Amino acid sequence: MLVNPGARLIDGRTGEVLAGAELRTRVEAAAVPDEPGPVFLPLPVSVESVVRYIAALESGRPVALLDPALPEETLKEIYARFGGAECHPDLGLLLATSGSTGSPKLVRLSRAAILANAESIAQSLDIDADEVAITTLPFFYSYGMSVLNSHLLRGATIVVDDRGYLDKGFWAAVESLGVTSLAGVPYQYEMLRRVGFDPAKYPALRTLTQAGGRLRPQLVADFAARMATVGGRMYVMYGQTEAGPRMAVLPPDQITEKVGSAGLPVPGGRFTIEGELGEVVYHGPNVMMGYAETAADLAKGDELGGVLHTGDLGRLDEDGFLFLTGRTKRIGKVFGVRLNLDDVERMLDVPAAAVSGNDKIVVWVEGTPADDLATTLAERLNVHHSGLRVRGIDKLPLLGNGKVDYQALERQA
């Protein structure tokens, strides 16, 4: 059972607490009818959304978590494509693939996979009934869902707040409601750095977690140090929606020694490095059953057998810590020379995104780039400077899950 009876929900704006018998009554009132096909849930960040999510999970029907901001035409297309379909009895959740636009394919996650990952994260982060997490990510995004699931499992408290890091009311809720942990993706940590985040202002806060892409090592060290000054901790995590979604956690006491690492596999999982390029392959009970592009796919069983080819490139050190080095598809060419675009980004100490153009690489840098940056990059990459373009941008475009919208940048390259 995913939801521990001791779990509590608090409305961050009003302070209203929903727990115990009252929470159970609200969940039962939100029960969904026993009909064929998945339950479609466009979920804004609200207490009522969490109640509907719990009710849908308990219905036994697969639950499709959707971005409420999707265009109405896209939502209608998804409903028409998958509504009323026969579903495999093990199917528990359907999530849109990261970065999908238009009409996305869905990740098929079994109930067992969701439960396994919630348990492994609860173990890795020492989540117990005393934890108080606040919502900082949308529920339809797998990282936001993971925070929700792992805390519901352990009977912890979830402060449901839709305001975000730049709102004073959000921070007032963090302080007054005794929030113990914050989750964030890289752009949110860049934001926290700019606003001068000081954990000492929030006595109950003791844990930061980061996933959703690579955070610059300088910022990992920075925020780990900030938390250490108040006896707190920072966890760096690595995952994919296809793994329900977490695969690795870097323990706080290893951040300095293993700087840049994605961490160790979560309990029950393991990594292998395979192929000529060194692709990261994850093995674990939280791996998806497969993708769904048509209604017929919802009736399929487990197609992957707990083995996920991540599309990431990496290596394992002598202690089993994973270090990511790029993506199999994040490769650009300059005059015939293959370049890893993630490596290009790692060479910069500012928020940046590299995309491939017509026999060139375009690097978008937040703010005004230095005049000699293209020449310096070219020298480090051992390519002619004419194959690189460095452009300034006020703010990198982001997808709904907080990751860089590379497609938008490619259209401008």
pTM for this one? Answer: 0.84
| Counted domains in the chain | 2
CA dihedral 359, 364, 370, 376 (to 10 degrees): -40
**Same domain membership, residue 284 and residue 321:** yes
Domain of residue 392, CATH code:
3.30.300.30
Residue 3 lies in a domain: no
Q: For residue range 360-393, what is the model confidence (pLDDT) as tens digits?
A: 889 999 988 888 888 888 888 777 777 888 999 9
Residue 30 lies in a domain: yes
**CA-to-CA distance for 347 and 358, rounded, in angstroms?**
22
Check whether 98 has a pLDDT greater than 60: no
**Same domain membership, residue 213 and residue 279:** yes
Q: How confident is the model at residue 242 (pLDDT cuts 50, 70, 90)?
A: very high
- Report the first-to-last Cα separation within the chain, whole angstroms: 49
CA dihedral 112, 243, 146, 64 (to 10 degrees): -70
For residue 368, which phi and psi values (nearest 5 degrees)?
A: -100, 115
Q: How confident is the model at residue 107 (pLDDT cuts 50, 70, 90)?
A: very high
Answer with the one of 288, 308, 325 that is the final residue of a domain: 325
Answer with the one of 273, 306, 325 that is the final residue of a domain: 325
**CA-to-CA distance for 14 and 4, rounded, in angstroms?**
24
Domain of residue 128, CATH code:
3.40.50.12780
Q: What percent of the chain has pLDDT over 90?
A: 73
H/E element, 221: helix 217-228
Check whether 26 has a pLDDT greater than 90: yes
The dihedral of CA 22, 169, 130, 160: what is its sign? positive
**Same domain membership, residue 265 and residue 334:** no
Answer with the one of 271, 290, 325 that is the final residue of a domain: 325
Tell me the residue range of the domain where 383 lies: 330-412
